[in-house]
Amino acid sequence: MATQTRDIIHLAALLHDIGKFWQRADVGGVMSSQIIDKFHKEFESSICPNRDGKYTHKHVVWTAQFFQHFKNIFEDNIDALGNASYPRKSIVRWASAHHNPNQESLEEYIVQFADHCSSGIDRTTNDGLEDETVEYDYEVAKGWDKFKDVRMKSIFENLLDNKTDGFRLPISALTLEQSFFPKSTFDTKGQIEYNTLWNEFSKDLSSIPTKDIRQVTDSILYLLEKYTVTIPSSTQHLPDVSLYEHLRSTAAYALCTYDYLEEKNATKFKIEAEEEPFLLLGGDLSGIQSYIYDIVGKGAAKNLKGRSFYLQLIIEVIVNHMLDELKLYRSNIVYSSGGGFYILAPNTTFVREKIPMLIDEISTKIREEHGTKLYLAIDYQSIKKRSIFDGSINTLWEDLSKKLASKKQNRFADFISTDAGFQFFFEPTEAGGKTERDAITGEEFDNNEKKYPFNIDEDEEQQYVKESTFEQIRLGKILRDNIIYQIITKEKISYWEQDYRFNGITTHQYFQPLKLNKYYYFLNEKEIEELKAKVKGSVDDAIILRVNDTNFSDFKLTGNRVVNGFTFYGGNNLPTNHDGKALYFDALAGDENVSFKRLGILRMDVDSLGLIFKKGFSNNRRTFSRYSTLSRSLDFFFKGYLNTIWKENEDFKQNTFILYAGGDDLFIVGKWDITLAFARTIQEKFEEWICHNPALGISGGMAIVGGKYPIAKAATQSDEEEKRAKGHSLGKFDKNAISFLGSPFNWEKEYKSVKELKDLLVKHIKADDGIPRSFLDKVGTFYAMKIEQEKNKSNPRWRWMSAYDIQRASDRAKKGSASKAFMEEVKCKLFVNARMEGSKYDYLDILNFAARWAELEMRS
């Protein structure tokens, strides 16, 4: 059956370089290959460029063979697939002729242009990016296939011109394991690993549903993300962009280019340098932090997890809605995480007219659900053809960021000028007094608004919450049950909506954020079996996503346009007690037998990310593919691998939970000392993930509070601590710090030293022949004296007083003991009070902080 040309062009562009993957898995060249048939060996003369009598860019032969080998996937949807001559109107030619397009084929030139845009370099010139030097026959040139051993460099290695060469990514399927990290040596040849990976890819590809071209395309996109995210797109030049990102962005560019030229009724390919064929559409949700922590009731802990995840769903549902309304694919998402998104769209009248309508619709939905607590700034920036090739893409990000920032500074400016806006902002909306309120958020119930029962404590009087609060509580409960699958549909799953109960009342199984015609279902292992048993019919237009696992093909639903894939979510599990019940703030603060119970409220994020996006890449490396690779690599760590760090450490699993993680930041709550250890482990693993590039850092702040302390205040305090860390400077070493107890320390230059000193204090105080615990109070006294004497510019009497007191403490220690030697060392260092090497702190500063830290630890 015939299908829209734009969809076929998009799919052709998505698979235009799939031959690179298969070629590297093959053991031979074109003529000696046991994979390529006789027809396609001869077909190279039609699709490969001929330079000085030799054919180049031969990976396209494997691309053409790919469509023949898997033709059962495509033949039901695409005409002219199996025609032996491959006429111009063929997906095979559109995909494989991008290095040697037919002069009469607009479609082939669209794919070629999209390929160039993705790479940011005009490959039609002799100096352009070429692929492997495969013009030599397998039998003739020994070592011609060395490109098959070239592994992908991490995108982090060369940021801001810092060179940390020596690391490569494994040739493997995407996984949340340490084995996915870059390393310096590998035991297996690349071609062998490519072959293994290709066989796994082929097996999964052969099982995808083929009823609809959109279904086929979306299914392939998830498989490409799983299997090609560490395959280098190019092995001849800097191999820091994955084949996945190149294929995905090429598909997006091709779709946008087709729409742009179709609106112009073009029959020949021609786009001038100053033309603006594309739009970069961006969105930024503000008010996230205040919304999450704007909770007044005792049930804050139970609501917080669902409240945080709900905000992630808001961005997800908005992005999906905009893709549907703008008639775009998932490949058009440049980036979406952490409260923001970017979409590549065609610069057409349809899109430009549709965007204001979408802004109005989405803004109205947010106001109806959340009033002024949340605000989504949406705007776009046109993209000139020239900007893609001259290295000025970074200015597009900057210009769009300024537009979004301006809208955030003038929130609701357009709406307030309308009658509805005036009424919304200036007419009374609350009755006050004894009006009944939401038990958790404190918001008033409107007249006739439905109230949902919620028991904070079983022995207390029944309380009530609003629908949105109830849904977030329900969402948090589902997350505690360890969700395995997330299903997104355009219609309710009618046969699964019967008799679903939560908290004692009958309700629906789905979630519908902002009521934007998307229904979300979350399944744990038990519910998957229940759903299988209840299936009485099919479900159309469904996306089934495995959560935090890329092995996603074991659960399917029947229906048209059903796609299987995967997604990552930071914090999919919670610590539990022996009965399997989730542990919350007061329980996490410490064991009941401990007198000093404290929570750690931790916030961390990547330093100077705006600068990295602005100046991180040199001019010839500024492409959307690289920006996407950078964003997704950060998202992988925070939204994905962070779960692995948590699961692999029993202390973390039992004493902390990840409230939020994604994009480039995180929020974790737990027993204060375990949370601090978690922060250090995160920083160390992040260093490994970014290949120890000194241009990148991660800073954090941790508030230490009681288990019943108001979460909103604790979040504010952790934010203040994080700002101290961000403002910490050691000259050459800025940020990359942790701050708690009001003091920031650079992770490498200071934190390590102060922790070692703290550990020594604890060790020698606990030792049988050790130093008295009262010494910690003495240190605090010395520090207070120092501050006062420096303030008054008086003699530093604290020096000889400290020497006297420490000598007395040292005299009590056993002669020749480690504790006595430690005290002697402390006495000498204190007396001279030398500045800590590479730090702004002197020895007493460090010792005083270590003493405070040791005191807290021993009390806990």
Segment 669-679, tens digit of pLDDT: 999 999 999 99
Q: Enter the DSSP assignment of 154.
A: P
On whether the CB atoms of residues 555 and 635 are closer than 8 A, the answer is: no
Q: What is the pLDDT of residue 140?
A: 40
- Residue 652 reports pLDDT greater than 90: yes
Residue bearing tokens 């920031």: 744
Cβ-Cβ contacts under 8 Å for 217 (sequence gap 6 or more): 7, 10, 11, 14, 329
On whether the CB atoms of residues 96 and 48 are closer than 8 A, the answer is: no
d(CA 71, CA 86): 13
Segment 539-583, tens digit of pLDDT: 788 899 999 999 987 777 777 788 999 999 988 778 888 877 778
Pairing of β 698-705 and β 737-740: parallel
Question: Which of the four pLDDT bands, split at 50, 70 and 90, describes residue 354?
Answer: very high
Give just the sign of the alpha carbon dihedral 667, 751, 759, 781: negative
d(CA 677, CA 738): 11
Residue 676 tokens read as 């601090």
Q: What is the pLDDT of residue 459?
A: 58
- Taking CB atoms within 8 Å and a gap of at least 24, the contacts of 592-597 are 594/860, 595/859, 596/856, 596/859, 596/860, 597/706, 597/707, 597/860
Question: Which of the four pLDDT bands, split at 50, 70 and 90, describes residue 620?
Answer: confident
Q: What is the pLDDT of residue 278?
A: 97
Average pLDDT over residues 772-785: 89
Question: Which of the four pLDDT bands, split at 50, 70 and 90, describes residue 137?
Answer: very low
On whether the CB atoms of residues 580 and 553 are closer than 8 A, the answer is: no
Give just the sign of the alpha carbon dihedral 741, 742, 745, 747: positive
Top-confidence range, 470-474, 544-548, 806-810: 544-548
Where is 676: in which H helix or E strand? helix 672-689
Nearest to 536 by CA among 557, 506, 519: 557
Q: What is the 3-state secondary structure (H, E, C) of 132-167?
A: CCCCCCCCCCCCHHHHHHCCCCCCCCCHHHCCCCCC
Where is 245: in which H helix or E strand? helix 243-263
Average pLDDT, the chain: 86
Answer left, alpha or beta for residue 805, where phi above 0 means left and psi between -120 and 50 means alpha. Answer: alpha
What are the angstrom distances between the C-alpha of 423 and each of 55, 417, 457?
Answer: 71, 10, 39
Q: What is the pLDDT of residue 686?
A: 96
Task: Let me know how long the chain is.
Answer: 860
d(CA 224, CA 860): 49
> What angle, 0 to 180 degrees and rounded to 10, lies between the N-to-C axes of helices 243-263 and 349-370?
110
On whether the CB atoms of residues 670 and 193 are closer than 8 A, the answer is: no
Top-confidence range, 44-48, 200-204, 622-626: 200-204
What are residue 176's phi and psi, to 5 degrees? -90, 40
Amino acid identity at 858: M
The percentage of the chain sitting over the pLDDT mark of 90, rounded to a whole number, equals 43
Residue 811 tokens read as 């005299």
On whether the CB atoms of residues 836 and 846 are closer than 8 A, the answer is: yes
d(CA 434, CA 451): 16
Nearest to 575 by CA among 694, 674, 449, 720: 674
In 3-state terms, what secondary structure has residue 46?
A: helix
Q: What is the pLDDT of residue 2?
A: 43
